Amino acid sequence: AKKAIEAEDERTLIISQRMVSGIAQVMDAQEQVLRKERELLEARGKLSAIRKAKYKDHPAGSHE
């Protein structure tokens, strides 16, 4: 009976390690998504600033 309990504990430990690994993978993926979303917001901000500067100098409808 003691060996059966030890074997069960070993299986539980392996399952727990897999869960921790899986949780770590999820956290890493979430971190990557957040990083990319921040980069996207920064890129959109730059694009918006470029467009504002362009139209400030050359308003729509004015042909030079």
Q: How far apart are CA 63 and CA 11, in angstroms?
A: 75
> At a CB cut-off of 8 Å and minimum separation 6, what does 12 contact?
none
pLDDT of residue 62: 60
Residue by residue, pLDDT tens for the chain (64 residues) are: 778 888 888 888 888 888 888 899 999 999 999 999 999 999 999 999 999 998 887 776 665 5
pLDDT of residue 5: 83
Predicted TM-score (pTM) above 0.85: no
pLDDT of residue 63: 58
